[in-house]
Structure 1
Amino acid sequence: MSRVLPFEVTHRSVLAIAVPMTLAHLSTPLLGIVDTAVIGRLGRADLLGGIAVGSVIFSILFTTFNFLRSGTTGLTAQAVGAGDAVAETAALYRAGLIGLAAGLLVIVLQAPILAVSLASMGASGEVERAVSVYFSIRILGAPFALLNYAILGWFLGRGQAVTGLALQLLLNCLNMALNATFVLWLDWGVAGVAWGTVIGEAVTAVSGVALCARTLARGFGIPGPLLFARDGLMRTFAINRDIMVRSFSLLFAFALFTSASARQGDVALAANAVLMNFFLLGGYFLDGFATAAEQLAGRAVGARYRPAFSRAVRLTFVWGAGLAIVLSAVLLIGGPLFIDILTTNEEIRRTARVYLVWAALTPLLGVAAFEFDGVFIGATWSDDMRNMMLVSLAAYVVAWQVATPHLGNHGLWLAIAVFLVVRGATLALRYPVRLARTFPG
């Protein structure tokens, strides 16, 4: 039996991970705002639409590979907790190789990916031409982007959140600076935004590899048979598969929300889009504590030390719940002002205010789902996380079908609330079972 390696979990250790990662998460939407503003200065609707559609395509594409970040964090944290330097290094190498291979495969398959994406978007010919230019350039950065996922996950698994923040800030700040330079100064248009993103991803990947090499120092070597050991590879692929199913389920839930909103008319669609920003903002904040749960819970599993695991779960929940209360209060009180900032259309403003309470409550309704997600990823209980996500998605679809005919848009938001609550509740029900199995006796 592996030895127990005790360690202490404190409020400070939780915040040391959560605060940097919250800042990193919040820098991501800022990049999208800058890209839109830069292209918007050119005054061409087709270019702005091309960036918007292209960004959605890559968001969906790269979300598919989000397991490279989450799965690597859990596996690395467990290796750190167990004091297994070889397993820690293997987690990085396996994820990095998968990321590079997947990125190259995406480049090879770029033609069918673009064709299917354009067919599903239904954009105008002018917008499609802009998307094609953007896509054909940005796709070249896929190997770097996916390698960055693996590197970020590895540093987070080691508890080096400040390093993760530095890499994210390098990526986003360099991206913004290059995009502005290429578009506003060199007049490269949509191609400028794409090249800025590719170069930013490449520079960040090279910087990340350099930081990994420095961290590993002389311990970077690992025997091939250990790296490609069947048990290690099968475990990595199983966890990644489960997280991929979870990611696709989330994408489906948001796609269904958007589609159902569109069926209610342009005003309802626009109002829901405005309010969805509140939901996403809450998610960016709560993700910081979910990341802390990933690292600390994973480390405790590797160390076979139940007290640290239980305290990590308790402290991340306390901080997450406290933050959720504050966020919901801020959104309830300041929501009307935020709505007015996001749109000048009076009809959309009035409609959004009607449904504001639903969006404002999403941090509170979803805090358990976010925090348990972090715990289950860190503990690599990915099969239960996958299964409970599918149960929650089924509950969401049923609630949508039952409620919207009677409640309209209120019914749609009620379905989102059901989705969040069921995710948290089902994971909470599975938690004691998995805890007893992981820490027997």
Structure 2
Amino acid sequence: MINALRDAWQHSPTHKRVWALAAPMILCNLSVPLVALVDSAVIGHLPHAHQLAAVAVGASLYGLLVGSVGFLRMGTTGFSAQAAGRRDGSALRQVLLQALLLGGVLALALSLLMRLLSAPILELMQPSTQLDALARSYLHIRLFGLPGALASYALVGWLLGTQNARGPLLIMLGTNLLNVALTLLFVLGLGWEVAGAAWGSVLAEWSGALLGLYLARQTIKRQAGRINWPALRLWRNWRPLLAVNRDIFIRTMALQAAFFLITVQGTRLGDATVAANALLINGLMLSAFALDGLAHAVEALGGHALGAGDRQALRRSLLVAGAWSLLASVGFALLFWLGGHWFIGLQTDIAAVRSMALTYLPYLALLPLIGVWSYLLDGLFIGATRAREMRNAMLLALLLSLPLAWWLQSLGNHGLWLALLAFMALRGLCLGGYAYRLTRANQWFTPSQSGTPHAQS
């Protein structure tokens, strides 16, 4: 193992390939929590805690929807990367079109479902009357942007799989910077308060989708092949993508359930607690999205290596990205430990919320060190389209964490954060166990049960 790590670390072309993908994706990903940070900072300087809490709750529910269909990006990346490794332009076209069609159907269905379920979900949280009204208004506005958000997911995943990191950078960075600008304009300039933050996000999401379609069109022109339209009517050509997406969906729902339960329990502890937890979760998202940039490099490079049958390239990519991920996680831990008070103060000047957040800041400092392994291994499994193992690992981690969370309830918010730390640790351990088993059985280069889509008739 030491020799393999030394060989990988000394192989400069692998470092270049990893960072050629990771650096743009880190910039992309950091722009995502930037939006939440700006929303918190802008709304957090309005006079009432329930306004900040409403954005936290509404964004959490919307994030549950968008996060639940994260398979549109993850599944698309794995399949497009493997098609690119085979140099199959027709399969690349098929994967892109299928992902966009699937995203459109899901956006319509999920928007209707959330409009029906938003009232009972908010009742479950037992919020104050003011928080309930504002959170519901924020959520219903955000639903207008869901089709654009899901289209962007599919487009980012597809472009990343073709090892085009510039496209996702332009889409995500452009979308999120526009979101920030519109939030500042609508909230501070026009005085729209909570609704202004929601409308800024909607317009930005649709703008990102339109930019993504343009970039995908430019990329596809350089790939030989054509769409096999009759093949799209055959179930067997949808089954591989749907099977992988089904398993990633179940895995993602388990992950979203964990964070949703944090919001529910935090809401029951009071407006100041849920607002403070939201500020800390912003920090978790900041580190997670940045570290995901290296995991995305593993997705693209690993999937390409698997498609090309190159074992050495797969090993080198994983080891180099893993070493850099560990170094980055240490950096984030130090950042939150030493500068966390500044991070919290930047987001709000509400004294009760700031005091509450600083109390739980040490938990945030530990999270990057514990969560980094699950992010990296997710990238490996996504590139290999091994969604079943990802699903099982996440469900196992959640099932093991729930009894612990119940037992820790008496500790209040401390118990909530301890349960989250345990859940993140179990994610990494369970994924590591599956990775070890596949490695010992020499199964990484054998087709997964989901298969791989081809542009066949």
- For normalisation by structure 2, the TM-score amounts to 0.83
Work out which of the residue numbers 403, 406, 420 in structure 1 matches 2:424: 420
What is the one-letter code of the residue matched to 2:391? Answer: R
Work out which of the residue numbers 360, 366, 371 in structure 2 matches 1:366: 371
Note the alpha carbon deviations across 1:366-418, whole angstroms, 9 max, x for none. 2211100111111111101110111111221233344565x766554443333
Asked whether 1:144 is paired with 2:124, we answer no
Match of 1:3 in 2: none
State whether residues 51 and 134 of structure 1, in contact with CA within 8 Å, keep that contact through their aligned partners in structure 2.
yes
CA distance in 2, matches of 1:347, 1:176: 26
**RCO (CA 8 Å, sep 6+): is it higher in 1 or 2?**
2
State whether residues 65 and 110 of structure 2, in contact with CA within 8 Å, keep that contact through their aligned partners in structure 1.
no
Displacement after TM superposition at 1:126 (Å)? 4.8
Note the alpha carbon deviations across 1:193-227, whole angstroms, 9 max, x for none. 44433322222212211111111127574012333
Question: CA 1:378/1:111 → structure 2, altered by over 3 Å: closer, same or farther?
Answer: same
Match of 1:313 in 2: 318
Work out which of the residue numbers 55, 75, 84 in structure 1 matches 2:79: 75
Match of 2:244 in 1: 239
What is the one-letter code of the residue matched to 1:423? Answer: R
Note the alpha carbon deviations across 1:294-328, whole angstroms, 9 max, x for none. 11111111112111111111111111111112222
Work out which of the residue numbers 177, 181, 185 in structure 2 matches 1:181: 185
State whether residues 9 and 311 of structure 1, in contact with CA within 8 Å, keep that contact through their aligned partners in structure 2.
no
CA distance in 2, matches of 1:182, 1:100: 28
Note the alpha carbon deviations across 1:61-114, whole angstroms, 9 max, x for none. 111111111111111111111211111111111110001111223344454144
Note the alpha carbon deviations across 1:306-354, whole angstroms, 9 max, x for none. 1111111111111111111222233333345545555667787677666
State whether residues 151 and 209 of structure 2, in contact with CA within 8 Å, keep that contact through their aligned partners in structure 1.
yes
Note the alpha carbon deviations across 1:148-199, whole angstroms, 9 max, x for none. 1100111111111221111112111222333333444455555544443332
- Which range moves more in the overlay, 82-91 or 180-189? 180-189
Asked whether 1:439 is paired with 2:445, we answer yes
Unaligned runs of 5+ in 1: 1-6
Note the alpha carbon deviations across 1:256-293, whole angstroms, 9 max, x for none. 33455566677766665554444333212211111111
Match of 1:199 in 2: 203
CA distance in 2, matches of 1:294, 1:255: 27
What is the one-letter code of the residue matched to 1:54? Answer: G
Report percent identity of matched pairs. 39
What is the one-letter code of the residue matched to 1:27? Answer: S
Question: CA 1:172/1:340 → structure 2, altered by over 3 Å: closer, same or farther?
Answer: closer
Match of 2:176 in 1: 172
3-state SS of the aligned residue for 2:69?
coil
Match of 1:380 in 2: 385
Question: CA 1:116/1:168 → structure 2, altered by over 3 Å: closer, same or farther?
Answer: same
Question: CA 1:311/1:336 → structure 2, altered by over 3 Å: closer, same or farther?
Answer: same
CA distance in 2, matches of 1:330, 1:45: 26
CA distance in 1, matches of 2:137, 2:355: 38
Asked whether 1:96 is paired with 2:100, we answer yes
CA RMSD of aligned residues (A): 3.2
State whether residues 94 and 228 of structure 2, in contact with CA within 8 Å, keep that contact through their aligned partners in structure 1.
no
Unaligned runs of 5+ in 2: 1-10, 447-457
1:291-330 to structure 2, matched below 5 A, reads: 291-330=296-335
CA distance in 1, matches of 2:340, 2:438: 39
- For normalisation by structure 1, the TM-score amounts to 0.86
1:267-306 to structure 2, matched below 5 A, reads: 272-306=277-311
Note the alpha carbon deviations across 1:234-277, whole angstroms, 9 max, x for none. 11111111111121111222233345556667776666555444
Note the alpha carbon deviations across 1:21-77, whole angstroms, 9 max, x for none. 111121122223334555567757776555444322211111111111111111111
3-state SS of the aligned residue for 1:438?
coil
3-state SS of the aligned residue for 2:443?
helix
State whether residues 40 and 348 of structure 2, in contact with CA within 8 Å, keep that contact through their aligned partners in structure 1.
no
CA distance in 2, matches of 1:280, 1:133: 24
CA distance in 2, matches of 1:96, 1:401: 40
1:118-133 to structure 2, matched below 5 A, reads: 118-133=122-137
State whether residues 395 and 418 of structure 1, in contact with CA within 8 Å, keep that contact through their aligned partners in structure 2.
no
Aligned length: 433
CA distance in 2, matches of 1:192, 1:308: 47
CA distance in 2, matches of 1:227, 1:163: 26
- Which range moves more in the overlay, 231-240 or 26-35? 26-35
Question: CA 1:33/1:232 → structure 2, altered by over 3 Å: closer, same or farther?
Answer: same
Asked whether 1:210 is paired with 2:214, we answer yes
What is the one-letter code of the residue matched to 1:91? Answer: V
What is the one-letter code of the residue matched to 1:62? Answer: V
- Which range moves more in the overlay, 270-279 or 360-369? 270-279
Match of 1:4 in 2: none
Question: CA 1:144/1:390 → structure 2, altered by over 3 Å: closer, same or farther?
Answer: same
Work out which of the residue numbers 161, 165, 184 in structure 1 matches 2:165: 161
Question: CA 1:138/1:338 → structure 2, altered by over 3 Å: closer, same or farther?
Answer: closer
Question: CA 1:169/1:345 → structure 2, altered by over 3 Å: closer, same or farther?
Answer: closer
State whether residues 251 and 391 of structure 2, in contact with CA within 8 Å, keep that contact through their aligned partners in structure 1.
yes
CA distance in 1, matches of 2:335, 2:129: 42
